[in-house]
Structure 1
Amino acid sequence: MVFEMESQKKNYCVLGDVYGMVTVPKEFEQLEKESNFELKLQVPDVGRAVKDFVRIREVGEFLSGALAGAMTKAVLAPLETVRTRMIVGVGSRHIVGSFVEIVEKQGWQGLWAGNSINMLRIIPTQAIELGTFECVKRTVSSTQEKWKKNGGPKLRINDMNINFSISWLSPVAVGGAAAGFVSTLVCHPLEVLKDRLTVSPEAYPSIRLAVSKMYQDGGVGALYSGLFPTLMGMLPYSTCYYFMYETVKTSYCQAKKKKSLNRAEMLLVGALSGFTASTISFPLEVARKRLMVGALQGKCPANMVAALSEVIRAEGLGGLYRGWGASCLKVMPSSGITWMFYEAWKDVLLVERICR
């Protein structure tokens, strides 16, 4: 409580409580009032921070690719199993016969043999691949615009000036090639494991045992068996795949005077892109698979050329396309569904950024 003294009303006041009173300068009254503060603890808004992080363009594209890949593989795992067995020459030569053979020997779950490692493989692979494609495509396009506006690097030799230009490069083709290259380098061991588990589940009953046995047989290099032919096969496939999708999508939207494809159109354009790219690069895919699982059959070709020669000698030129039908049955819906899911997830995760 506060009492003001009459004789010194302007300069002093009395502060007191139950224990007594004291005379102090009046300015202390204001300090006492201002010292009554309320302690507030602000809890970080974790949900908002996560939402803002996800809506960063690169993060949203990365997550969209991961989710699209996971959902696609969960649906199409049986076709992947049949395709892999036919390519490496295990079991029936016909799609229906291969399905029946797997079900008879391993039950319905045999159609999902190796699917656990396949899911572990496809999530980072698809995320890295689609994220790299978008990033490299934007970077090349941006660089082309800057060089067109400001002029590119120049080299002067005596009186001769050489101007460097990348206007002839296709950002989509470069992005597609980079996507296939980077994702293959990072995720190739998972691809090797998936093929081993799919082709020979008896020899490799689990991921842990498969890794252990492969390491004992060939060390770390066994996890990267067939890396060179994989890169050789992936580069034309990936380049053609992304180039086809973007080119057809852009041309179709311009012809129809629309901004984007609907879900059904994405499905069809993606399927067409996968079909074209797979058909062009399929012989390299056959050689790649033979190299990766050759050790299971006790004979591994020395290189890609040797693998191709071996197939031609044994089965003729038609052998280079053995399993092509099963591959198309898998690749076409896989490509279409992946693009459909990817674009859908981008709409969800990046909706606010797009609207801005």
Structure 2
Amino acid sequence: MCCQFFGKIDGVTSQKHCFNVHQGFVKTREVGEFLSGALAGAMSKAVLAPLETIRTRMVVGVGSRHIAGSFIEVVEHQGWQGLWAGNAINMLRIIPTQAIELGTFEWVKRAMTSSQEKWKKDGNPKIQFGDITLNFPLSWLSPVAVAGAAAGIAGTLACHPLEVVKDRLTVRPEEYTNLTVALSKIYKDGGVTGLYSGLAPTLVGMLPYSTCYYFMYDKLKRSYCVFKKKNSLSRPEMILIGAVSGLTASTISFPLEVARKRLMVGALQGKCPPNMAAALAEVIREEGIMGLYRGWGASCLKVMPNSGITWMFYEAWKDILLADRRVI
């Protein structure tokens, strides 16, 4: 598989040479998963940037409320390249984010599973605090859910400044004309803390999404393999299960995303709600309950293919980089 991906070397397909190259570079499972996440993120983002641009405009209430109308507005005012507005920063953001998220997810899942097995083997030992004895079985914790939450937190903390810059480039391109201008203006207006503006609501919105997203994918993947009596998914099956996982997670957490975007836009316009609860109340007051899902359709059009394609590329790269270590 490796050589089929990279092509021929000196006119002759050499599978042995390919595996020697990547085995010499990928020393550990963690490195392979980190690289697989980075490559998967870059590939998926390159083809889905226009949907991200339209989704962001609809969520924050810029221009048309419809997908087709928003698409036409962007092309008319900014040209075709406007569909890729902020894509450079998007690529800079998504590569480390996906690498950190997927690498963290895999590592924490293995660590939690190992801890549970050891805890069970030791007979669920009790924890003593003075006169208080606690029986704290780890069996009720889902390693996949914990790993999903950890992945979302790690990725957000590491890459939030890039998310801030990307939103500014997308929402106010006339003021934030490029990456350098955006970074300079944000830093001038708010210093380092300006790059982390909106971190708290972002984490609040990210936790349910990330937990559900990774939990759904892992469980659907394993359940499907058991049902079909197979060891792994085909590429189309990965895309489908990834898309369903993204749809479910996005639907559950979407009102929090709307509130986060409302806080971000409000800060730019000088009329920011004081907190996420106030932002949610403001949306309901102005647009009703359905306002909490404004832009949900566009979000699904972006999230579903992005999730499916990302998982497909990620699993494919793991097949290449970790061919001798693969487990489902």
Residue 145 (structure 2) pairs with residue 173 (structure 1): yes
Partner of 2:95: 123
Structure 1 segment 151-300 matched on structure 2, within 5 A: 151-156=123-128, 162-300=134-272
Structure 1: gaps (5+ residues): 1-46
Deviates more, 1:62-71 or 1:292-301: 292-301
Residue 77 (structure 2) pairs with residue 105 (structure 1): yes
TM-score using structure 2 length:
0.90
Q: 1:309 aligns with which of 269, 277, 281?
A: 281
Partner of 1:18: none
Partner of 2:34: 62
Give a deviation string over 1:102-130, Cα, whole Å, max 9, x none: 00000000000000000000000000000
- The verdict on how the C-alpha distance between 1:146 and 1:298 changes in structure 2, with shifts beyond 3 A counting, is same
TM-score using structure 1 length:
0.83
Q: Helix, strand or coil for the counterpart of 2:127?
A: strand
Q: Which has the higher helix share?
A: 2
The structure 1 segments of at least 4 consecutive aligned residues displaced by more than 3 Å after TM superposition are 47-51, 155-163
Aligned residues: 309
Q: Do 1:133 and 1:179's aligned partners in 2 also have CA atoms closer than 8 Å?
A: yes
Give a deviation string over 1:91-110, Cα, whole Å, max 9, x none: 10000000000000000000
Larger Rg: 1
Give a deviation string over 1:43-75, Cα, whole Å, max 9, x none: xxxx96874341410000000000000000000
What displacement does 1:179 show? 0.4
CA distance in 1, matches of 2:157, 2:125: 31
- The verdict on how the C-alpha distance between 1:315 and 1:145 changes in structure 2, with shifts beyond 3 A counting, is same
Code of the residue aligned with 1:239 in structure 2: it is T
CA distance in 1, matches of 2:235, 2:151: 23
Q: Do 1:77 and 1:112's aligned partners in 2 also have CA atoms closer than 8 Å?
A: yes
Aligned identity (percent) is: 75
CA distance in 2, matches of 1:141, 1:311: 41
CA distance in 1, matches of 2:40, 2:179: 24
Q: Helix, strand or coil for the counterpart of 2:140?
A: coil
Partner of 1:353: 325
Code of the residue aligned with 1:80 in structure 2: it is E
CA distance in 1, matches of 2:139, 2:122: 13
What displacement does 1:248 show? 0.9
Instruction: Provide the aligned C-alpha RMSD in A.
Output: 1.8
Code of the residue aligned with 2:92 in structure 1: it is L
Partner of 1:150: 122
Structure 2: gaps (5+ residues): 1-18
Residue 87 (structure 2) pairs with residue 87 (structure 1): no
Q: Helix, strand or coil for the counterpart of 2:324?
A: helix
Q: Do 1:88 and 1:293's aligned partners in 2 also have CA atoms closer than 8 Å?
A: yes
Residue 264 (structure 2) pairs with residue 330 (structure 1): no
What displacement does 1:221 show? 1.5
